[in-house]
């Protein structure tokens, strides 16, 4: 099918709402931007809790599961046939095409809570990095004993103001440039973090720190919670299923979108896994059982200016990654508002604003989009101020998103699409789903326990805890 015929078919179905020009490389950039984020910073700590054997195996295992289920989800972009069927523009649309209304409702809750929760996590992480940069510069100027408290709330508000501005872009297809920049930044701080960890390891004599069984804890119960939290961090570090369909909806056709998306998933997850194992193992080798929750806050990691550059790259990456997760929420809320009040003047109004320095000379501003998107960003910031617990938040997000979004729905849609009946393949798929469910439940219990314990120690809004 040529491009004009494909476009005509899309118009006939009523689903050609934007120009799709994405390629395997732009999709890979979106994936890397979405996947490599705050989760990478906790990998050294996570490997430290699991040990030299279980740590790398857990990283490889989650990567394999994520890649396999992402290929199943890519096939669900069109229905009923993965190549010639009607487009599903969102994850919920795909679930609606194959599964029951009850499962559509469950999917909506899981997807949008996780998207929003990830925005909360990214806000916390970006603020921690901004605070770290300010404190590092203060200590360098005034000495290690200086009082260098940084205004975390102000930093968080500054990050949120940037997000309010970027949120006015209409959708993901309009911010590919931001994802490309963010992807480059993710590689930059991953390389810097890896290099600094290796450098610290060499400076300490190049001996392997830590133990095969992982870091010791005050009690067996605390050790169990730490292991579960580590698994949650790893699960969160690989999660991108909730935006996969939205990313696939930016791809041009031909070639078939599912084939392009499978290649992009392989490239994105493959590159990510190499970084994750390298960063996690290097950080554990360098700091042993004392590996911090955020590797860039490790004591003795330096030189300080290079750590500052890494934190700056992280901030720039999270600025872009935040939008990858936020844009699907914006689009969903706006579609709901438009369908709920179709005749409302406020919702249907738009104004053209002239901007001399822009190439097009003007932009279209919709007041209701400005208000809705600003409210969502503000609500995200308020929640981030209330629960600034880095590791626990990442673990809870990983627990909540991994099984339903990464495993259950892709497998269930694959079974429905291919009409798989009870047999060897059916039982294997259901077995994989059940194993992942048990992991998610256990991780969720551990994460909630850690958050409750942290709130008892400190309930002050924004006081960064890594």
pLDDT digits (tens, 9 = 90+) for 115-174: 888 888 888 888 888 887 877 777 777 665 666 666 778 888 889 899 888 887 766 666
SS3 annotation, the chain: CCHHHHHHHHHHHCCCCCCCCECHHHHHHHHHHHHCCHHHHHHHHHHHHHHHHHHHHHHHHHHHHHHHHHHHHHHCCEECCCCCCEECCCHHHHHHHHCCHHHHHHHHHHHHHHHHHHHHHHHHHHHHHHHHHHHHHHHHHHCCCCCCCCCHHHHHHHHHHHHHHHCCCCCHHHCHHHHHHHHHHHHHHHHHHHHHHHHHHHHCCCCCCCCCCCCCCCCHHHHHHHHHHHHHHHHHHHCCHHHHHHHHCCECCCCCHHHHHHHHHHHHHHHHHHHHHHHHHHHHHHHHHHCCCCHHHCCCCCCHHHHHHHHHHHHHHHHHHHHHHHHHHHHHHHHHHHHHCCCCHHHHCCEEEECCCCCCCEEEECHHHHHHHHHHHHHHHHHHHHCCEHHHHHHHHHHHHHHHHHHHHHHHHHHHHHCCCCCHHHHHHHHHHHHHHHHHHHHHHHHHHHHHHHHHHCCCCCCCEC
Rounded Cα distance, 389 and 461, in Å: 10
Residue 466, pLDDT > 50, answer no
CA distances from 267 to 21, 26, 341, 424 (A): 19, 11, 43, 30
Does residue 99 contact residue 73 with C-beta atoms inside 8 Å?
Answer: no
**Rounded to 5 degrees, what are φ and ψ at 364?**
-95, 125
pLDDT at 457: 60
Does residue 94 contact residue 241 with C-beta atoms inside 8 Å?
Answer: no
Helix 91-98 and helix 101-142, axial crossing angle in degrees, nearest 10: 160
Among 204-213, 352-361, 452-461, the range with the most confident prediction by mean pLDDT is 204-213
Residue with the two structure tokens 């909630």: 448
pLDDT at 9: 42
Residue 355, pLDDT > 70, answer no
For 282-300, what is each residue's pLDDT tens digit?
888 888 888 877 777 777 7
pLDDT at 456: 64
Does residue 78 contact residue 272 with C-beta atoms inside 8 Å?
Answer: no
C-beta neighbour count of 251 within 10 angstroms: 24
Q: b/e string for 57-77 if b means 16 or more Cβ within 10 A?
A: ebbeebbebbbbbbebbbbbb
pLDDT at 4: 39
Residue 261, pLDDT > 70, answer yes
Better-predicted residue by pLDDT, 452 or 181: 181
Rounded Cα distance, 135 and 149, in Å: 7
Half-sphere exposure for 315 (CA within 13 Å, toward CB):
20
Mean pLDDT of the chain, nearest integer: 79
Rounded Cα distance, 319 and 160, in Å: 9
For 27-47, what is each residue's pLDDT tens digit?
888 888 777 766 777 888 899
Among 193-197, 414-418, 453-457, the range with the most confident prediction by mean pLDDT is 414-418
Query: Residue 434 — pLDDT band, cuts 50, 70, 90?
Result: very high
pLDDT at 59: 93
- Average confidence (pLDDT) over 79-95: 85
**How much is the pTM?**
0.74
pLDDT at 119: 87
Residue 58, pLDDT > 90, answer yes
Contacts of 353 (CB under 8 A, 6+ apart): 362, 363, 364, 365
Q: b/e string for 252-266 if b means 16 or more Cβ within 10 A?
A: ebeebbbbbbbbbbb
Residue with the two structure tokens 């369909």: 245
Closest listed residue to residue 446, CA positions, set 403, 406, 377, 396: 396
- Average confidence (pLDDT) over 245-263: 86
Query: Residue 306 — pLDDT band, cuts 50, 70, 90?
Result: confident
Contacts of 416 (CB under 8 A, 6+ apart): 98, 99
pLDDT at 428: 94
Establish whether the linkage from the previous residue to 269 is cis, with ω within 30° of 0.
no
For 195-237, what is each residue's pLDDT tens digit?
888 888 888 776 776 677 777 777 888 888 888 888 888 887 8
Query: Residue 461 — pLDDT band, cuts 50, 70, 90?
Result: very low
């Amino acid at each position: 099918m040529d491009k004009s015929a494909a476009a005509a078919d899309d118009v006939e179905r009523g689903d050609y709402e934007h120009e799709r020009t994405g390629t395997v490389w732009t999709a890979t950039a979106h994936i890397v931007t979405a996947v490599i984020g705050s989760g990478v910073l906790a990998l050294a700590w996570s490997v430290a809790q699991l040990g030299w054997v279980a740590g790398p195996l857990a990283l490889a295992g989650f990567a394999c599961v994520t890649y396999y289920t992402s290929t199943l989800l890519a096939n669900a972009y069109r229905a009923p046939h993965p190549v010639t069927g009607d487009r599903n523009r969102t994850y919920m649309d795909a679930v609606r095409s194959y599964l029951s209304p009850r499962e559509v409702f469950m999917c909506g809750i899981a997807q949008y809570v996780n998207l929003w929760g990830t925005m909360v996590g990214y806000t916390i992480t970006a603020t921690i990095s901004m605070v770290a940069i300010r404190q590092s510069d203060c200590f360098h100027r005034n000495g290690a004993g200086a009082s260098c408290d940084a205004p975390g709330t102000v930093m968080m508000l500054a990050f949120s103001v940037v997000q309010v501005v970027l949120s006015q872009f209409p959708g993901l297809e309009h911010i590919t440039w931001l994802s490309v920049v963010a992807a480059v930044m993710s590689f930059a701080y991953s390389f810097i973090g890896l290099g600094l960890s290796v450098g610290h390891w060499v400076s300490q004599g190049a001996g392997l720190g830590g133990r095969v069984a992982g870091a010791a804890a005050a009690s067996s119960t605390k050790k169990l919670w730490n292991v579960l939290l580590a698994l949650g961090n790893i699960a969160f570090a690989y999660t991108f299923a909730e935006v996969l369909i939205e990313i696939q909806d930016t791809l041009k056709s031909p070639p078939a979108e599912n084939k392009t998306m499978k290649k992009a998933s392989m490239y994105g997850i493959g590159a990510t896994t190499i970084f994750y194992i390298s960063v996690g193992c290097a950080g554990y080798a360098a700091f042993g059982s004392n590996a911090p929750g955020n590797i860039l806050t490790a004591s003795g990691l330096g030189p300080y200016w290079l750590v500052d550059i890494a934190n700056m790259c992280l901030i720039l990456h999270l600025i872009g990654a935040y939008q990858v997760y936020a844009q699907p929420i914006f689009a969903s809320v706006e579609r709901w508002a438009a369908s709920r009040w179709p005749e409302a003047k406020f919702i249907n109004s738009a104004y053209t604003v002239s901007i001399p320095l822009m190439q097009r000379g003007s932009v279209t501003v919709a007041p209701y989009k400005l208000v809705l998107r600003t409210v969502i960003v503000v609500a995200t910031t308020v929640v981030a101020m209330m629960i600034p617990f880095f590791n626990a938040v990442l673990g809870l997000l990983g627990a909540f998103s991994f099984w339903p979004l990464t495993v259950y729905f892709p497998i269930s849609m694959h079974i429905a699409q291919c009409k798989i009946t009870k047999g060897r393949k059916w039982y294997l798929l259901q077995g994989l789903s059940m194993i992942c469910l048990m992991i998610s439940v256990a991780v969720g219990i551990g994460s909630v326990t850690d958050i409750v314990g942290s709130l008892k120690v400190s309930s002050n809004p924004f006081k960064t805890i890594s």
